[in-house]
């Protein structure tokens, strides 16, 4: 099956009735490297955090990897992501765990009077595999999702699927990727079931022979979330040192001014030395200030 046909199948798979979405933490993103480039990572994904972006990106890994990411998102909200990838003879297998803690939230009754605090958190555990073929790389991820708020809890399952292709172009490579994330029946709280944040992503990137990269991405939420775009680049400033810059419309203000108009800009720094890597990303978030993300990577 050719790449255009696979991409068409991904589009057709998103046709569903629009409804309210739940488990929004599944749409936050993972890994400082990816997010410092505006989230334009579906085609570039080639490290352990490909479990989140595009499981097909696992297929060409040559060494085992452990990736640990932490993000401070404001209002005492913290996002953590842990992934492990293990290349085998015919495929690369990986597992990942995502946890979002929102701390203590102040409760109010229908009249606005304080009723005491309560906790809220979300978690997802995923198992993924990426397979390399002569024509195209394929990947799939199955995940278990749990969402908790006060005394209520919901559980469910979802599937991610992706494709990726590398093509020689000049002295570098063109990378094409597509992924469909969060395919599933949704989560049910009490008597109400809400849809998961289904997302279809299509991306292209160019990787220069000197280690630089440029990428663009288009993402659509067919259940009413609309469309978003992102673009970013990675510049190899020195051996093991990468500077990154990007922009994502996901956080951009439609009619902002001053600092608020910079919402959506991302930047970051990456360091690689031997088996170890450290990435940092910052994103302007308007009135909320900046969000900060860190990722520690080990290859062995």
Nearest alpha-carbon partner for 227 in 37, 11, 55, 49: 11
- State the DSSP string of 99-164: EEEEEEEEEE-TTS-EEEEEEEEEEEEEEEEEEE-SS-EEEEEEEEEEEEETTEEEEEEEEEEEEE
pLDDT tens, per residue, the chain with 300 residues: 444 444 444 444 433 334 578 888 999 999 999 999 999 999 999 999 999 999 999 999 999 999 999 998 877 789 999 999 999 988 999 999 999 988 666 655 566 666 666 678 899 999 999 999 989 999 999 999 999 887 788 899 999 999 999 999 988 999 999 999 999 998 987 777 889 999 999 999 999 988 899 999 999 988 877 899 999 999 999 999 999 999 998 765 444 444 455 678 999 999 999 999 999 999 876 544 578 999 999 999
pLDDT at 56 (0 to 100) = 97
Q: Give the CA dihedral 233, 127, 225, 80, nearest 10 degrees.
A: -70
Element (H, E) at 7: helix 3-12
| Cα distance between residue 114 and residue 230, in whole Å | 41
Number of domains in the chain: 1
pLDDT at 194 (0 to 100) = 85
pLDDT at 113 (0 to 100) = 63
Q: Which residue range is the domain that position 193 belongs to? A: 3-106+114-299
Residue 107 burial (CB count, 10 A): 12
| Distance (Å) of CA 149 to CA 100, 106, 119, 196 | 12, 12, 6, 16
CATH code for the domain in which residue 98 is found: 2.40.160.60
Q: What is the pTM of this model?
A: 0.84
């Amino acid at each position: 099956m050719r790449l255009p046909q696979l991409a068409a199948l991904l589009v057709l798979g998103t046709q569903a009735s629009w409804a309210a979405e739940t488990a929004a933490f599944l749409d936050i993103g993972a890994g400082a490297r990816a997010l410092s480039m505006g989230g334009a990572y579906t085609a570039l994904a080639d490290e352990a955090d490909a479990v989140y972006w595009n499981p097909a990106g696992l297929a060409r890994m040559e060494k085992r990897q452990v990736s640990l990411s932490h993000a401070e998102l404001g209002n005492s909200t913290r996002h953590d992501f842990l992934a492990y990838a293990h290349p085998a003879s015919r495929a690369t297998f990986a597992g990942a765990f995502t946890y979002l803690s929102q701390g203590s939230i102040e409760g109010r009754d229908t009249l606005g009077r304080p009723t005491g605090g309560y906790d809220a958190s979300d978690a997802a555990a995923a198992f993924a595999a990426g397979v390399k073929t002569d024509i195209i790389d394929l990947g799939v991820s199955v995940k278990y999702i749990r969402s908790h708020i006060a005394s209520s809890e919901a559980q469910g399952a979802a599937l991610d699927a992706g494709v990726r292709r590398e093509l020689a172009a000049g002295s570098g490579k063109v990378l094409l990727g597509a992924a469909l994330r969060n395919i599933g029946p949704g989560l049910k709280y009490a008597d109400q079931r809400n849809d998961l944040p289904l997302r279809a992503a299509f991306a292209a990137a160019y990787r220069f022979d000197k280690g630089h990269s440029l990428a663009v991405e288009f993402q659509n939420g067919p259940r009413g979330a609309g469309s978003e775009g992102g673009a970013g680049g990675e510049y190899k400033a020195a051996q093991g040192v990468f500077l990154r810059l990007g922009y994502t419309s996901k956080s951009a203000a439609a009619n902002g001014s001053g600092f608020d108009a910079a919402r959506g800009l991302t930047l970051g720094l990456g360091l690689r030395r031997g088996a170890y890597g450290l990435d940092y990303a910052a994103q302007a978030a308007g009135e909320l200030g900046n969000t900060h993300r860190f990722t520690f990577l080990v290859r062995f």
